[in-house]
Copies of this chain bind each other. A is one copy, B any other.
């Protein structure tokens, strides 16, 4: 276990160890039931005396993070045991590294990288954007040295509004807030509307960056299973008997990580429920434009008459990750609050970047660019699926994605993908472990394979190799998962 101890600090070493392990448990990074290393082993690893580790473990046990079982070892308690009894503690450690699973899994990527759900930069319009930049510095060099409106540059908001109008969302520039990527959109919504003990409903499974944010507010994240039409309304209704959610977070189209599409019927039902129980829906839409067959159903926001839906759009997946521009649209009183939060968070996006992408929206060249991207990515999806069909064992399943960036793969139940990842990385292949996508009670036998960040050559090389690694791993697995922690 990597723990950086500060030997100059006035906080004792045992307290530091306690805090680090508590953080990881709180964040779900150390799942319930996992076994901690032995006192002797940890003491050796950290170059501290065993007494120091014993002190840390004693504190952890006292705070109900762990249970020590005589002769068997030290085990992490289920989150629910520790979650509710001390809100202040939860807020004291809100945003630490180990909550940021995105960060954790994106560090030190392997060569054949199917882990990050991003697009191969060579498919994005760098040259067109460069031309805009060139024009911009000739006509408006002053944009580099000016603050912009906190809500976002007005012409860009106008262009976004027009774009949404075409998507049957009838709003104006006033109803748009420009954000620093869609991650900030999620964060702003959480900061505005969630506090300790609040309930957020998500799909089971969902985007880990959202889970991290909701948890950082002290909210309880309750996942609802999906079927082929998306989030299960029956399960949701049952949950609502017990809980009053503040927010439903959904990625209806090419859901991350499963690639599933919520049906139009389901979208309307979900909205009706939100209206009935008076909660907000955060509709996260990173890539509805990236369809490979028919276009997806209309956005939930397009059915929203009473202002229950916050629609969030990222542009990094299809246009310009180097500019980090996203936007959201919400009913006025909601938007006003989000704007206040944005002010506190960073006083607005950089102005220059907003102008870089403006012409693409103004000239509506986006359609053509996206069509090209679709074609390219469809080819990679088809290739990936073909290779999986050819090389994967019969007991491996996946969901065929009709759009988006990801293939959700299910291995036999006893396989632990976090451990598998460890071996895969050693052989130069990377993927995203599915367990990170569970708000609670992670299953360990899923993985997300993003096919959009690799060239065709890398796909042709990487997917057969990954299948081989899985084969070997399954063959070597003797008797079920050890459920040990990553890094032990």
Chain B residues positioned under 8 Å from A275 (CB to CB): 10
Please report the C-alpha to C-alpha distance between residue A100 and residue B179 in the assembled complex, in whole angstroms: 17
A192, B100: Cβ atoms closer than 8 Å: no
A100, B133: Cβ atoms closer than 8 Å: no
B332, A350: Cβ atoms closer than 8 Å: no
B316, A147: Cβ atoms closer than 8 Å: yes
Please report the C-alpha to C-alpha distance between residue A316 and residue B349 in the assembled complex, in whole angstroms: 12
Q: SS class of chain A's interface: helix, strand, loop or mixed?
A: helix
- Asked if A213 is an interface residue, CB under 8 A from chain B, the answer is yes
- Asked if A181 is an interface residue, CB under 8 A from chain B, the answer is yes
A322, B145: Cβ atoms closer than 8 Å: yes
B96, A146: Cβ atoms closer than 8 Å: no
Within the complex, which residue of B6, B94, B353 is in contact with A192, where a contact is CB–CB below 8 Å? Answer: B94
B343, A100: Cβ atoms closer than 8 Å: yes
- Asked if A69 is an interface residue, CB under 8 A from chain B, the answer is no
B10, A94: Cβ atoms closer than 8 Å: no
- Expressed in whole angstroms, the minimum distance between the Cβ of A14 and any Cβ of chain B is 15
Please report the C-alpha to C-alpha distance between residue A305 and residue B92 in the assembled complex, in whole angstroms: 25
- Asked if A294 is an interface residue, CB under 8 A from chain B, the answer is no
Within the complex, which residue of B103, B306, B343, B352 is in contact with A343, where a contact is CB–CB below 8 Å? Answer: B103
Within the complex, which residue of B145, B324, B353 is in contact with A121, where a contact is CB–CB below 8 Å? Answer: B145
Binds B, one of A134-142, A233-241, A461-469: A134-142
Chain B residues positioned under 8 Å from A340 (CB to CB): 95-100, 103
B interface footprint on A306-349 (CB within 8 Å = 1, 0 otherwise): 11000000001001111111000001110011011101111111
B133, A9: Cβ atoms closer than 8 Å: no
Chain B residues positioned under 8 Å from A393 (CB to CB): none
Chain A interface residue number, banded: 35 or more
Chain B residues positioned under 8 Å from A213 (CB to CB): 344
Please report the C-alpha to C-alpha distance between residue A191 and residue B217 in the assembled complex, in whole angstroms: 10
B306, A97: Cβ atoms closer than 8 Å: no
B interface footprint on A144-161 (CB within 8 Å = 1, 0 otherwise): 111110100000000000
- Expressed in whole angstroms, the minimum distance between the Cβ of A266 and any Cβ of chain B is 22
- Output the nearest chain B residue to A6 by Cβ-Cβ distance: B333
- Asked if A370 is an interface residue, CB under 8 A from chain B, the answer is no
- Asked if A365 is an interface residue, CB under 8 A from chain B, the answer is no
B interface footprint on A99-143 (CB within 8 Å = 1, 0 otherwise): 110110010000000000010010011110110011001000111
B interface footprint on A180-205 (CB within 8 Å = 1, 0 otherwise): 11011001100110011100000000
- Expressed in whole angstroms, the minimum distance between the Cβ of A69 and any Cβ of chain B is 31
- Expressed in whole angstroms, the minimum distance between the Cβ of A366 and any Cβ of chain B is 14
Please report the C-alpha to C-alpha distance between residue A349 and residue B98 in the assembled complex, in whole angstroms: 20
A180, B126: Cβ atoms closer than 8 Å: no
- Asked if A1 is an interface residue, CB under 8 A from chain B, the answer is no
- Asked if A261 is an interface residue, CB under 8 A from chain B, the answer is no
B306, A9: Cβ atoms closer than 8 Å: yes
Could you show 11 A-B contacts with beta carbons less than 8 Å apart?
A: A6-B331, A6-B333, A9-B333, A96-B340, A97-B336, A97-B340, A130-B141, A143-B322, A144-B356, A187-B345, A324-B349
* A contact residues vs B (CB 8 Å cutoff): 4, 6, 8-11, 87-88, 91-92, 94-100, 102-103, 106, 118, 121, 124-127, 129-130, 133-134, 137, 141-148, 150, 179-181, 183-184, 187-188, 191-192, 195-197, 209, 212-213, 216, 218, 275, 278, 305-307, 316, 319-325, 331-333, 336-337, 339-341, 343-353, 356
Q: A87-B88, A130-B141, A352-B353 are in contact. List 18 more A-B contacts (CB 8 A).
A: A88-B195, A88-B196, A91-B196, A94-B341, A95-B188, A97-B340, A98-B340, A121-B142, A126-B141, A127-B141, A142-B322, A143-B322, A145-B319, A147-B322, A180-B180, A187-B346, A209-B343, A216-B344
